[in-house]
Structures are given as structure tokens and as C-alpha cells.
């Protein structure tokens, strides 16, 4: 009994990592702190037993997830596809993003008038917030499009600049998430761009256990808490600060490699 109570009160860390999207660790820290407090309360965990840290970079996030106390990860689906196997990530819950939902389509954008044949992109550069995750780009977002192997896939947090480069005729294409794609018609140079292809519906972000560092019973209470998060007074505001509406059970594509 004493050991059970100790395990329930032991502090674990939830690492938020969102490569390719703007925002510094200092800016986000107060919001992830509030999220950790709300999530632990919803799970019935003792106060202070869930800590949270934020890192906006892929390598910084990987370093933090290497810490023994980093038992949980909150990451974009692209990160999960790229690093899930090496980190032994086991999904607990799928985030419902405000204005998007639990799943989204990714859109490949090229210069208007360009051919829709994938081979025409040979040697070109693909820019995306998910560019740090080439496995996600090729195996998930563009799984049905056979991207040439010599396409250079690069990460960018400046997607507007990437779209301007496409419109100007540079040998560049961009892979956009659903929010970015929805804004395309508002651009003054929208007529210079065209949608080439879209992915199927893919998860946006996941909360996952890292390398079995969280006991199964405790993971189940957290999962139940996440699914209920948003129902208690104050939860909606805490979630909204992170552009979240709540969580659902994970629903991964069949082609996702098992961690």
C-alpha cells in the first residue's frame, strides 16, 4: 500500500515538443504548467505529481525526452512517426485541436501551372513545418504520391516565405497543415499557387508514454483524465491557451509503424 502511494505521488515530466511552429519555451511554459496541473487533477493524481516542459525544437525535445523522468510526450503526429520507434512511444490520447479537430489533411502546394506529375519535382526542395520528419512526409502525408528520392525535404517555421518563393517561380514546393492550407485563399498571390495533392485524414497530435516509464495503472488513470479534461470548471480556458478542445482515444492509420 505504501509503495502504491509512493508510485502515485512520484513526479513525472510531460515534454511538449512542437518543431516547426513558432513560439519560444519561455512563452509557452506558463500554459504547459497549467495544463499539467489540470491533467493531473483530472486523473486523480496528487497535486504536483505531473510536471511539464516545452521545447520548440526537434533536437531539444529529443534531449528532454532522454531524461529518465520524462515519462510522457505531447508531440505532433509527424514527430511520432519520425521518432516513435526509437523513443518507444505508446499513444494514450489524441488531441482535438481548436478549429481543426483530432485529424487533419496535409496539402502539397506548387507554382500554378506546374505539372502534377511527381517526377517533375526531382531535385526540388520541399519546405514544411513537418520537414524535420521525412518519414512522415513520404510515408504518411504523401504516401500515395511517390515523392522522388532526390527531393530535398527541409523544415521551416516561415511557411509564408516559402509560399512567396513558390509564387516567384523558385524550384520549391510546400507541404501545409490544415490551418496553413485554409489560409491560402487569403494571400494576395494566391493565384500563383495551386494544390497538387492532399493526404488522407491524419492525427494532429498525441500524448504518449515514453519507453514504458509510466506504470500501466497510472497511465490508465491519466488517459481517463485526459478524455474527461474540459468538463471541469476552468478546464476550457486552460485548454484554449494551448489551442486545444480536449482529447479522444488514439486512432492511428494502419500504415503507422508500431513503436
The residues near 14 (Cβ < 8 Å, ≥ 6 apart) are 32, 36, 39, 50, 51, 52, 53, 71, 72, 73, 74, 207
Choose among 256, 257, 244: nearest CA to 94.
244
Same domain, 140 and 192: yes
Cell of 194: 495551386
* 190: CATH: 3.40.190.10
Which of 15-24, 65-74, 187-196 bottoms out in mean pLDDT, i.e. has the lowest? Answer: 15-24
Q: Which domain holds residue 63?
A: 2-100+204-248
Same domain? 194 vs 210:
no
Kindly report, residue by residue over 209-245, the tens digit of the pLDDT: 999 999 999 999 999 999 999 887 788 999 999 999 9
Looking at the structure, tell me whether residues 90 and 208 fall in a common domain: yes
Span 102-149, pLDDT tens digits = 999 999 999 998 877 899 999 999 999 999 999 999 999 999 999 999
The answer on pLDDT for 165 being more than 60 is yes
213 and 194 in a common domain: no
Q: How many domains, in total, are found in the chain?
A: 2
**Of 198, 213, 235, which marks where a domain is finished?**
198
85 & 175 share domain: no
At 150, give phi and psi (nearest 5°).
-90, 10
User: Are 74 and 148 in the same domain?
Assistant: no
pLDDT-derived band at 5 (thresholds 50, 70, 90) equals very low
pLDDT of res. 256 = 57
Summary mean pLDDT of the chain: 91
| Judgement on whether residues 164 and 189 belong to the same structural domain of the protein | yes
Using a CB cutoff of 8 Å and minimum separation of 24, what contacts does 186-193 make?
187/160, 187/163, 189/163, 189/164, 191/112, 192/111, 192/112, 192/166, 192/167, 193/109, 193/110, 193/111, 193/112, 193/163, 193/166, 193/167
Which of 7-16, 96-105, 130-139, 171-180 has the least mean pLDDT?
7-16
- From 166, 182, 198, give the residue that closes a domain: 198
Q: Is the separation of the CB atoms in 19 and 3 below 8 Å?
A: no
Q: Is the pLDDT of residue 154 over 90?
A: yes
pLDDT digit string, tens, across residues 80-89: 999 999 999 9
Whether 217 and 242 map to the same domain: the answer is yes
With a cut of 60, say whether residue 255 has pLDDT above it.
no
Is residue 259 one of the residues assigned to a domain? no
6 assigned to some structural domain? yes
Three-state DSSP string of the chain: CHHHHHHHHCCEEEEEECCCCCCCHHHHHHHHHHHHHHHHHHHCCCCCCEEEEEECCHHHHHHHHCCCCEEEEEEEHHHHHHHHHHHCEEEEEEEEECCCECEECCEEEEECCCCCCHHHHCCCEEEECCCCCHHHHHHHHCCCCCCCCCCEEEECCCHHHHHHHHHCCCCEEEEECHHHHHCHHHCCCHHHEEEEEECCCEECEEEEEECCCCCHHHHHHHHHHHHHCCCCCCHHHHHHCCCEEEEECCCCCCCCCCC
Within a domain: 240: yes
Tens of pLDDT, residue by residue over 19-28, are 977 655 567 8
Q: Which residue has the higher pLDDT, 5 or 74?
A: 74
Under the banding of pLDDT at 50, 70 and 90, the label for residue 199 is very high
Same domain, yes or no: 78 and 163 = no
pLDDT the model gives residue 1: 41
CB 235, CB 42: distance < 8 Å: yes
Amino acid at each position: 500500500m505504501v509503495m502504491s502511494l509512493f508510485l502515485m505521488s512520484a513526479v513525472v515530466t510531460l515534454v511538449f515538443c512542437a518543431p516547426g511552429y513558432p513560439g519560444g519555451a519561455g512563452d509557452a511554459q506558463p500554459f504547459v504548467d497549467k495544463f499539467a496541473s489540470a491533467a493531473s487533477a483530472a486523473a486523480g493524481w496528487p497535486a504536483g505529481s505531473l510536471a511539464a516542459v516545452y521545447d520548440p525544437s526537434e533536437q531539444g525535445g529529443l534531449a528532454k525526452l532522454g531524461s529518465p523522468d520524462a515519462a510522457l510526450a505531447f508531440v505532433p503526429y509527424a514527430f511520432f512517426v519520425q521518432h516513435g520507434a526509437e523513443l518507444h512511444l505508446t499513444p494514450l490520447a489524441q488531441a482535438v485541436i481548436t478549429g481543426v479537430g483530432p485529424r487533419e489533411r496535409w496539402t502539397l502546394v506548387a507554382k500554378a501551372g506546374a505539372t502534377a506529375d511527381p517526377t517533375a519535382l526531382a531535385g526540388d526542395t520541399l519546405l514544411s513545418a513537418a520537414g524535420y520528419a521525412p518519414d512522415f512526409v513520404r510515408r504518411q502525408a504523401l504516401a500515395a504520391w511517390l515523392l522522388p528520392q532526390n527531393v530535398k525535404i527541409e523544415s521551416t517555421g516561415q511557411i509564408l516565405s516559402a509560399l512567396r518563393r513558390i509564387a516567384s517561380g523558385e524550384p520549391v514546393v510546400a507541404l501545409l497543415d490544415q490551418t496553413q492550407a485554409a489560409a491560402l485563399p487569403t494571400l494576395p498571390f494566391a493565384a500563383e499557387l495551386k494544390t497538387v495533392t492532399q493526404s488522407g485524414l491524419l492525427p494532429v497530435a498525441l500524448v504518449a508514454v515514453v519507453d514504458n516509464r509510466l506504470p500501466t495503472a497510472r497511465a490508465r488513470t491519466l488517459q481517463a483524465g485526459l478524455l474527461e479534461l474540459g468538463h471541469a470548471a476552468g478546464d476550457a480556458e486552460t485548454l484554449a491557451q494551448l489551442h486545444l478542445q480536449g482529447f479522444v482515444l488514439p486512432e492511428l492509420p494502419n500504415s503507422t509503424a508500431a513503436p
